[in-house]
Amino acid sequence: MKFRRAGLGIALAATAATLGSCVHDNRTVLTVYSPHGIDLLKFYETEFEKKYPMIDVQWVDMGSQEIVDRIRGEAVNPQADVWFGAPSESFARAAQENLLRPYRPTWANAVPAEAHDPKDLWYGTYLTPEVIAYNRDAIPRDSAPQDWSDVVDPKWRGKVIIRDPIASGTMRAIFGAMIAKSITETGSPQRGYNWLLRLDANTKEYVLNPTILYQKLKSREGLITLWDMPDVATMRDRVGIPIDYVIPKSGTPLLVDAIAIVRGTKHLREAELYYEFVTSEHAQLEASRQFLRIPARTDIPQDSLPVWIQTAMKQIKPMPVDQNLLAQHLNEWMRYWDSHIRNHG
């Protein structure tokens, strides 16, 4: 977790956010919880503060599941104003727990029904396809796994490395999609559990955060992982890590990344301004061009997006996932995975 402008740990982040306006200057402090990473968050902070100089954006960068737990734990005395980023399933659970405040953005009609909460508690910002990533220096593209079933082939035993799914919204979404698909097609989660057991058998390590994941892929401590396409593309194109990705041919979870205002925010007007700013057409285009994000808004002309996004969207076959089923049972499934599948493969 990283707190903007200070090397503070988790215990100090909330206090710093609360006291920031007293310690630094007379600006209003707006606190944003997000898993989107330093580069994107810093870019939006700088651009937003140019437009609204009386607002001081301070963000806490942490994993999606950590954000849910944090907002839940702070419900009596909320410390965050805006939650920016995580799979919509996480937002749906938070909505059920009455942790979010309704807000209908000016562009509300520009996303399909499945990309927002019916009561305006959250709205989609980016589309995030889940892919199979691999070290391209170690594995030729044609030899890399081409589908989910290929990843669990015994020939990859000890070569798969995965972000710990308990704290990762991305991994929870992939695991949940596989189990939900099993239930939809067979009436039972067992086929999904069996796939996860075979994946565990091939997995060398579950790492604590994405940075470690990338480092281990680069050093060939692991050769294959499951992750989201924009982050893999960013590491490949901007950081120079020798990784690439395959879009699974049978279909892939196409996650809706979302944004919401935290119930109990002490800075509602500022939160609404930030919400509108980072989801504006201009901001979405900048995110696509500079940070390889795929906008969820359907009113943005496709030909204005980077060519790689246009190409990828033609190749992606979305995997049908029952979002209600996912929201209701994902925690239960993850507890089962942690108790009966992790390190049992």
pLDDT at 24: 53
pLDDT over 70 (residue 299)? yes
Q: What is the mean pLDDT of residues 81-97?
A: 93
- Asked if 132 contacts 246 with a C-beta cutoff of 8 angstroms, the reply is yes
Q: State the DSSP string of 122-191.
A: -EEEEEEEEEEEEETTTS-GGGS--SHHHHTSGGGTT-EEEE-TTT-HHHHHHHHHHHHHHHHHHSSSHH
Q: Where are the alpha helices (DSSP H) in 187-243?
A: 190-202, 210-218, 229-234
pLDDT range class, residue 70, cuts 50, 70, 90: very high
CB burial of residue 299 (10 Å; 0-12, 13-18, 19+)? exposed
- In sequence order, the β-bridge partners of residue 203 are 160
pLDDT of residue 65: 86
Q: What is the pLDDT of residues 226-268, one digit of tens each?
A: 999 999 998 998 889 999 999 999 999 999 999 999 999 999 9
The answer, as to whether pTM is greater than 0.75, is yes
Query: How much is the pLDDT for 25?
Result: 75
pLDDT at 5: 43
Intervals of CATH 3.40.190.10 along the chain? 2-126+256-307, 128-253+318-341
Amino acid 89: pLDDT: 86
Mean pLDDT of the 285-311 span: 93
Q: Shortest CA distance to 315 belongs to which of 254, 256, 258, 257?
A: 254
Instruction: Please say if the pLDDT value at position 1 is more than 80.
Output: no
Query: pLDDT at position 2, please?
Result: 44
17-33 per-position pLDDT tens digit: 444 444 457 999 999 99
154: left (phi over 0), alpha (psi -120 to 50) or beta: alpha
DSSP for 99-140 reads -EE----TTGGGS-GGGB-TTSS-EEEEEEEEEEEEETTTS-
Region for residue 314 given its phi and psi (left: phi exceeds 0; alpha: psi -120 to 50; beta: otherwise): alpha
- Which pLDDT belongs to residue 10? 41
What's the confidence (pLDDT) of residue 168? Answer: 87
**Measured between alpha carbons, how far is 36 from 278 in angstroms, rounded to an integer?**
12
What is the b/e burial string over 126-138, where b = at least 16 CB atoms within 10 angstroms of the residue's CB?
bbbbbbbbbbbeb
Q: What percent of the chain has pLDDT over 70?
A: 93
Q: Is residue 250 within 8 Å of 317, Cβ to Cβ?
A: yes
Residue 188 has pLDDT above 50, yes or no: yes
Residue 191 has pLDDT above 80, yes or no: yes
Looking at 3.30.2130.10, 1.10.10.1100, 3.40.190.10, 3.30.70.100, the CATH number of the domain 2-126+256-307 comes to 3.40.190.10
Higher pLDDT, 173 or 204: 204
Domain 128-253+318-341 of CATH type 3.40.190.10? yes
Q: What are phi and psi of 152, to 5 degrees?
A: -95, 10
- pLDDT digit string, tens, across residues 26-69: 999 999 999 998 999 999 999 999 999 999 999 999 888 899 99
Q: What is the pLDDT of residue 4?
A: 52
Give mean pLDDT, residues 292-296.
93
* One-letter identity of residue 62: M
